[in-house]
Every structure is written in structure tokens, then in C-alpha cells.
Amino acid sequence: MLKTVDSTKSDSLLYLSAADVERAIGEDHAIFVEALEAALRAQAAGDVVQPLKPYLRRPERPHPTDRIIAMPAYVGGDVRLSGMKWIGSAHDNQRTRGLPRASAVIVLNDADSAYPLALMDGSVVSAWRTAAVSALACRFLAPAGRRLAVLGTGLLARTHLSLLRASWGRPDGVDVYDIAPGHGEAFARWAEEKHDLTVTVHDDPAACLRDADVVLAVTTAPESWIPAEWVPRGSLFLNISLADPMPDVVLTSDKIVVDCYEQVMRPGKLLHSMAEQGTFGPNRCHADLSDLVTGSRPGRETPEETIFFNPVGQAIGDIACAAAVYRRALGQGVGIHLER
């Protein structure tokens, strides 16, 4: 039953659709970077709780992106909320069902009473949170040059380019490659209309990377396919995908940074597989992202460093970003109040 109530009352549960989330955000996507930074500072202070996330998979659907993930967390500090993101993905959604690959819902709970406060579409929050992680990584790890190579041109490529354009600076150039015919050209038209950027579309991925200062991999490829010889020396490789870079990309990097070592070291992940083979371990990991945010570890120290950044996605980031959206929506009167 729907009911309009005072948002401060304990019987109020705020529901936010995807359109509501977009309405609350407007064009102020910087709130995601600020929220993520707050979560990372809380993490560095030991003021978060983040269980390892379980994956729900079906054996007859072996593609690595075919799963539902539960991502619970408590974030203290300036956020001070608990919650969970429940995010599903199917690699063939767009082709066979006409749906986006991923979908999500997020529930936020009061930290003390544990009562639910909000239920919201999580796909928008998730996409911008992912881009915010890369934006923070670029702040500390990117070289002086700003030529960006993008592998894959889906939703994450668009949120990344938009947030990097706002927080990292206008790229000197953008090169893209996508295996699907016409997708690169559609992305180029969008980038020109939305951000007044000229994008060069390549049919050769090696050529796409040739002059890159920052490489952004956002594909759904099930197997590694990018060799180290394609990655320019002195660049930053943002490994947002599951399986794009080959192990030699990691092995030839001067620094390896992750969002959270414990979360990254899960079966099926690139760095975990390398650890099982004895080619990667904690001694090869330069820092967690929270170490860079707090200054306890340095970021880029020389122009010549080739740096590999591998986030896996932290629930604390989703909860902090959802909390920012929730509070913005309350202030603007956006959403529907549900009776418990």
C-alpha cells in the first residue's frame, strides 16, 4: 500500500525508481566521487563491515557475467548506514531479451535499529559508483597525458567518460574499440553530442591502445585477450572488466593497485588465479585504494611507471553512494513513501 508520510517517521520506507535516482542526482555526478571517498576513509579507519560477497550461479550458465551477487556492508564515518546491493547480470540479456546486461536493487538500513529506510533501483548507482572508483584511481595514478583508450562502449564506458571528463579533465583524445559492429560509431556520436569530444573508432584493438595514457577496459569478454605488448609504458591500465588483460599485463607493471586486496582475491578473478600459480601475492600489491586516499601509500611517483589498477567493486562504495542519493532525494521530495 502506498502512503505519503513524514520521511522521518519509523514507518516510512522510501522507494526510488531508476528515474527517481536520476532526478535526485541531476547532473551532479561528483556526489559519487565524494561518497566513495568518504567510504574509503571510513574503511582506512576500520569503521566499515564488509563480508565477502556470495555469488549465485547456475551450472548451465557458465559465462563469468551470468550471476547474481549479494553485496552487504555497513559504512561508518560520515555515511553511517547499512545496506545491501543485489545485482544480477546475464551476458545475453540485450541480444535475446532486449534488456540491459545488469540490473540491481539496493536496500538501505538504519545503522542502529536495522530498520529499512530505502529501497531503490541500483543499476544507476552501481554504474556511477564503478566510474567513481576509476575517477579516484586516475587522481592518484594517471600520468600527465590525457589520451584515453576505451575497450568496450556500453553503459560503463559512458559513465566513465562522463565522470572522467568532469573530475580528471578533458581528454587530449579518445580512442575506442568494440567488437560489435556500429557500437563504436554510436559511442562516438554520443561523446560528440554530450561532451563535445572527438572519438577515433578503431577496428584494431592494438592500434586503439597505441598512444594511450590511460586504458579503460569495460567489456564482457569471458577470456583474457590483451597482451602486455599492447599496453604503452608509463600508462595506467584500468581493469574494470572481468577477464580482458593477460597475466603478463600485471607482471610487466611497475605498480599494482586494487580497491581492496581481500575482496579482489576471490576464485575466478585474475589476481587470484595468478596467486594460485605463484606469480602474484600481497608483496606484489602496492596499495589498496583507501591507502592512496588517506596518503598512507604513494600513488604515481614517476612518469615512467606503468600502473595496473584492478578493482572488483566494494559494497561499501555502493552503500555510501546510495546513501548520498537517498539523502538528496529526501531533501528534494523525490520518490514514493511506502507503508511498512
Strand order in the sheet with 307-310: 199-202, 173-177, 147-151, 214-217, 236-239, 307-310, 255-258, 287-288
pLDDT of residue 6: 40
Q: Give the other-Cβ count within 10 Å of 285's Cβ.
A: 17
Q: Does the active-site annotation cover 85?
A: yes
Mean pLDDT, rounded, for 220-244: 94
Helix-strand-coil percent breakdown of the chain, rounded to 5?
35, 25, 40
Beta carbons of 184 and 205 less than 8 angstroms apart? no
Instruction: Give the model confidence (pLDDT) of 166-187 as tens digits.
Output: 988 899 999 999 999 999 999 9
Confidence of residue 4 (pLDDT cuts 50, 70, 90): very low
Confidence of residue 10 (pLDDT cuts 50, 70, 90): low
State the Cα–Cα distance between residues 93 and 238, nearest whole angstrom. 25
The pTM (predicted TM-score) of the whole model is 0.92
**pLDDT above 90: residue 7:** no
pLDDT of residue 8: 44
Q: List the catalytic residue out of 3, 9, 85, 255.
A: 85
Q: 193-230 as b/e, with b when 16 or more CB fall inside 10 Å?
A: eebebebebbeebeebbeebbbbbbbbbbeebbbebeb
Using CA atoms of 259, 62, 96, 105 in order, give the dihedral in degrees to the nearest 10. -40
Instruction: Give the model confidence (pLDDT) of 121-140 as tens digits.
Output: 999 999 999 999 999 999 99
Beta carbons of 36 and 128 less than 8 angstroms apart? no
State the Cα–Cα distance between residues 153 and 168, nearest whole angstrom. 19
Q: What is the CA radius of gyration of the chain?
A: 20
| CA-to-CA separations, 288 to 27, 67, 249, in angstroms, rounded | 29, 26, 19
Q: Which three cell numbers stand for residue 293?
A: 586516499
The region of weakest confidence among 49-53, 268-272, 306-310 is 268-272
**pLDDT above 80: residue 20:** yes
Confidence of residue 258 (pLDDT cuts 50, 70, 90): very high
Q: Which three cell numbers stand for residue 55?
A: 555469488
Locate cell 612518469: which residue? 303
Percentage above 70 pLDDT, the chain: 97
Instruction: Give the model confidence (pLDDT) of 64-113 as tens digits.
Output: 889 999 999 999 999 999 999 999 999 999 899 999 888 999 999 999 99
State the Cα–Cα distance between residues 299 and 43, nearest whole angstrom. 18
Using CA atoms of 14, 3, 17, 259 in order, give the dihedral in degrees to the nearest 10. 10
